Amino acid sequence: MGAQKWVLAPCAVLLLLQLASASHVIHRSLEAEAASPSIPPSIVSPLLRTGYHFQPPMNWINDPNGPLYYMGWYHLFYQYNPKGAVWGNIIWAHSVSRDLINWIALEPAIKPSIPTDMYGVWSGSATILPDGTPAMLYTGIDRPNINYQIQNIALAKNKSDPLLREWVKPGYNPIAVPEPGMNATQFRDPTTAWYIDGHWRMLVGGLKDGRRGVAHVYRSRDFKTWKRAKHPLHSALTGMWECPDFFPVHEAGVQNGLETSQFAAKYVLKNSLDLTRYDYYTVGTYNNKTDRYVPDDANGDYRRLQYDYGNFYASKTFYDPAKQRRVLFGWANESDSVPHDKAKGWAGIQAIPRKIWLDPSGKQLVQWPVEEVEKLRAKPVSVANKVVKPGQNFEVTGLQSYQSDVEVSFEVSSLEKAEPFDPAFSNDAQKLCGMKGADVKGGVGPFGLWVLASANLAEKTAVFFRVFKDGYGKPVVLMCSDPTKSSLTSDLYKPTFAGFVETDISSGKISLRSLIDRSVVESFGAGGKTCILSRVYPSMAIGQNAHLYVFNNGETDIKVSHLTAWEMKKPLMNGA
Ligand SMILES: *[C@@H]1O[C@H](CO)[C@@H](O)[C@H](O)[C@H]1NC(C)=O
Ligand SMILES: *[C@@H]1O[C@H](CO)[C@@H](O)[C@H](O)[C@H]1NC(C)=O
Ligand SMILES: *[C@@H]1O[C@H](CO)[C@@H](O)[C@H](O)[C@H]1NC(C)=O
Ligand SMILES: *[C@H]1O[C@@H](CO)[C@H](O)[C@@H](O)[C@@H]1NC(C)=O
């Protein structure tokens, strides 16, 4: 019922398309429960509801599902509870877009309806079949009270419909069930399939022997009958692998993406680790005869490289043929409490879609917000060649920064005073940042941005760099997001998030971009080598009371060679 309220009839879709260029701001009352005394009014304020990040008008969302480009439209499906702001009653909600930024909600695409998905339609992925029909592989739950997981398929009913409004579940479901010896409650999230020499392949995430994460390989000639390969594509001692994603990448430094069935010298295998709740990936090689994947760096296997070091999970990529790029969607959950979510009436957003490609080093990916988000930029404010002395800061004025996009290039005057790096932290950036937060003085840094800051600085979220020097005198760059002072509200989850930045800072130069959107700060260090999404809920620094500063808590001068900040307009967002 909740869903029906905001679903659009096809004629309304056309009307909205005509309106799409106009900048309509419609504030919908959230119909939140009357706030109880323990719910601070700021938590339910519309000023903390994100303005340009993907979300439905209300209720709970989680994993992005089956993203694809079809006949001029981007489609995003996602796990959605039509009945409330907590997980449950999950269906596949469906939205479409011309540009990945303005979204129109359609009727839900997939709901429980057949014996093999009657108790749940969970995550899955899109594959376009040779005759042009889009197909969704997804996980169904087929019995009550136990999450017994089996894999199903749904096909677009009318491939002439660019909006792909109707989906049918063929009679040959299910296409894969847990086999004896497999843990049936840890068997889910099929990938986009790829095609080699007469056979399709797909992956399903799983758990073996209670602690080994595995990516099972299934093969099929006709996309109907699937058989599991004896060996998984890859596995590691990490606990359950959810939402695997596997795709080829162009040679180092080329920003274009590759279609999933295209062969390449390098591949990426990403898994969402149920135990840590982060998305880890490796870069490696794929043998299409044995269907085995080997990461280039065995030591980094699902320990070091994350798409994002903050609230970002269950992500999925797709190849966009319109712009020859690979685009990443990821779910960002809330960092407030369940009572807060119930009072707000909503929980969960999708990160701004990111283009991803292999870094020139060949060792990691680079991620950057899709260029279309720049259409929302208005009213730039710039600062150039401004030196920030040790212990100093300055405010960037002239814009409403609570919904903004900030790009800044820093120049460190010298690396002389960089603190020594303790190699014990080599695989634990987050712990290092927890010990050396934004207010802990350093040699080179901490320097960066205070965003969503109150005028008296009692509230502020810091996004910053700190430079160390290892035993050989080589700089080690840490990027952190420190929300410990982000809000005076209690019952918030405020972890410091951090990752290392593999960048050559010997020239002193490093860049930072932050997409600030009321209760989310999504940051890209060094041109997208390290990314951190953080959810924060200020009690004072909301709306016009939010300020933006550049700070330097190190002993070394930092120059802002260039900073530009834009207010961001509100796109069409599913009718909200
Ligand atoms: C399929 O979609 C096209 C385009 O929206 C529409 O014209 C046609 O009537 C649809 N066919 C059926 C059988 O619904
Ligand atoms: C399946 O995995 C879950 C999670 O690790 C575990 O709790 C459960 O005991 C396992 N079931 C079997 C039958 O091994
Ligand atoms: C399979 O891999 C080989 C390299 O080992 C490559 O040359 C070939 O193009 C691949 N085949 C397909 C269909 O991708
Ligand atoms: C997001 O919420 C926080 C706080 O409740 C949890 O600690 C995280 O595990 C959770 N992340 C995911 C991906 O579920």
> Would you list the DSSP string of 146-157?
S--EEEEEEEES
DSSP state of 103: B
- Cα–Cα dist 453/246, whole Å: 39
- Tokens representing 226? 């699937």
Model confidence at 116: pLDDT above 60: yes
> Is residue 51 in some structural domain?
no
How many A from CA of 341 to the centre of ligand 1? 40
Model confidence at 544: pLDDT above 90: yes
Q: Assess whether 146 and 256 both reside in one domain.
A: yes
The rounded mean pLDDT for the chain is 94
> Is residue 43 in some structural domain?
no
Looking from the CA of residue 210, the nearest atom of ligand 2 is: 5
CATH code of residue 427: 2.60.120.560
Model confidence at 21: pLDDT above 70: no
Looking from the CA of residue 240, the nearest atom of ligand 2 is: 5
- Omega within 30 of 0 (cis) for the link into 380: no
How many A from CA of 246 to the centre of ligand 1? 33
Q: Assess whether 345 and 241 both reside in one domain.
A: yes
Q: Assess whether 80 and 155 both reside in one domain.
A: yes
* 496, amino acid identity: T
- Cα–Cα dist 336/446, whole Å: 27
- Cα–Cα dist 48/71, whole Å: 35
Q: Assess whether 333 and 435 both reside in one domain.
A: no
Instruction: Name residues contacting ligand 2 (CB within 6 A).
Output: 183, 185-186, 207, 210
pLDDT at residue 19, rounded to an integer: 37
Q: What is the DSSP string of 276-289?
A: TTEEEEEEEEEETT
Smallest CA separation from ligand 4 atom 4, residue: 335
Q: What is the DSSP string of 478-497?
A: EEEEE-TTS-S-SS-----E
Model confidence at 7: pLDDT above 60: no
Smallest CA separation from ligand 3 atom 1, residue: 288
The verdict on the CB of residue 86 being under 6 Å from ligand 4 is: no
When pLDDT is averaged across residues 50-64 and rounded to a whole number, the result is 98
- Name the residue range of residue 196's domain: 4-34+57-369
Smallest CA separation from ligand 4 atom 1, residue: 333
Q: Assess whether 225 and 314 both reside in one domain.
A: yes
When pLDDT is averaged across residues 440-448 and rounded to a whole number, the result is 98
> Is residue 39 in some structural domain?
no
User: Residue 246: left if φ>0, alpha if ψ -120 to 50, beta else—which one?
Assistant: beta
How many A from CA of 122 to the centre of ligand 2? 19
CA atoms lying within 13 Å on the CB side of residue 233: 28
Read off the pTM.
0.94
Residue that terminates a domain, selected from 340, 369, 398? 369
CATH code of residue 101: 2.115.10.20
Q: Assess whether 164 and 257 both reside in one domain.
A: yes
The angle subtended at Cα 337 by Cα 332 and Cα 343, nearest 5°, is 100
pLDDT at residue 37, rounded to an integer: 58
Alpha carbon separation from 130 to 127, 198, 575 (Å, rounded): 10, 12, 34
Q: Assess whether 347 and 240 both reside in one domain.
A: yes
pLDDT at residue 8, rounded to an integer: 43
- Tokens representing 183? 């843990």
How many A from CA of 360 to the centre of ligand 3? 23
Element (H, E) at 340: helix 338-344
Q: Is 404 helix (H, G, I), strand (E, B) or coil?
A: strand
User: b/e for 388-427, b at 16 or more Cβ within 10 A?
Assistant: bebeebbebeebebbbbbbbbbbbbeebebbbebeeebee
Q: Which residues are catalytic?
A: 63
Smallest CA separation from ligand 2 atom 7, residue: 210
pLDDT at residue 100, rounded to an integer: 98
Would the CA dihedral through 82, 202, 326, 480 be positive or negative?
Answer: positive
Strand 365-369 with 354-358, pairing: antiparallel
- Cα–Cα dist 214/204, whole Å: 8
Model confidence at 402: pLDDT above 50: yes
> Is residue 52 in some structural domain?
no
CA 412 to chain CA centroid, Å, is: 30
Q: Assess whether 129 and 156 both reside in one domain.
A: yes
Element (H, E) at 499: strand 497-501
- Tokens representing 379? 């009213």
> Is residue 49 in some structural domain?
no
User: Longest Cα pair distance anywhere in the chain, in angstroms?
Assistant: 69
Q: Assess whether 495 and 463 both reside in one domain.
A: yes
Lowest mean pLDDT across 28-42, 255-269, 323-337: 28-42
**Cβ atoms 153, 226 nearer than 8 A:** no
Q: Residue 497 class from Cβ within 10 Å (0-12 exposed, 13-18 middle, 19+ buried)?
A: buried
Give the confidence band of 303 by pLDDT, cuts at 50, 70, 90: confident
Residue that terminates a domain, selected from 369, 388, 422? 369
Strand 497-501 with 403-412, pairing: unpaired
Instruction: Name residues contacting ligand 1 (CB within 6 A).
Output: 158, 160-161
Q: Ligand 2: which of 149, 182, 186, 214 to mutate, most ligand atoms within 8 Å of CB?
A: 186
- Cα–Cα dist 258/246, whole Å: 12
> Is residue 40 in some structural domain?
no
Span 227-239, pLDDT tens digits: 999 999 999 999 9
Q: Assess whether 242 and 260 both reside in one domain.
A: yes
500-503: long-range pairs with CB below 8 Å, 24+: 500/429, 500/476, 500/530, 501/465, 501/477, 501/525, 501/526, 501/529, 501/530, 502/359, 502/361, 502/363, 502/364, 502/529, 502/530, 503/477, 503/529
pLDDT at residue 379, rounded to an integer: 86
Smallest CA separation from ligand 4 atom 9, residue: 277
- Cα–Cα dist 339/349, whole Å: 18
The percentage of the chain sitting over the pLDDT mark of 90, rounded to a whole number, equals 91
Q: Assess whether 326 and 433 both reside in one domain.
A: no
CA atoms lying within 13 Å on the CB side of residue 496: 24
Which residues touch 319 (CB under 8 Å, ≥6 apart)?
Answer: 69, 247, 257, 258, 259, 260, 325, 326, 327
pLDDT at residue 36, rounded to an integer: 61
How many A from CA of 354 to the centre of ligand 4? 21
Count the domains in the chain. 2
DSSP state of 414: -
- Tokens representing 119? 């108790």
Residue that terminates a domain, selected from 348, 369, 390? 369
> Is residue 575 in some structural domain?
no
> Is residue 492 in some structural domain?
yes
Q: Assess whether 381 and 434 both reside in one domain.
A: yes
pLDDT at residue 38, rounded to an integer: 84
When pLDDT is averaged across residues 267-286 and rounded to a whole number, the result is 98
Which residues touch 432 (CB under 8 Å, ≥6 apart)?
Answer: 425, 478, 498
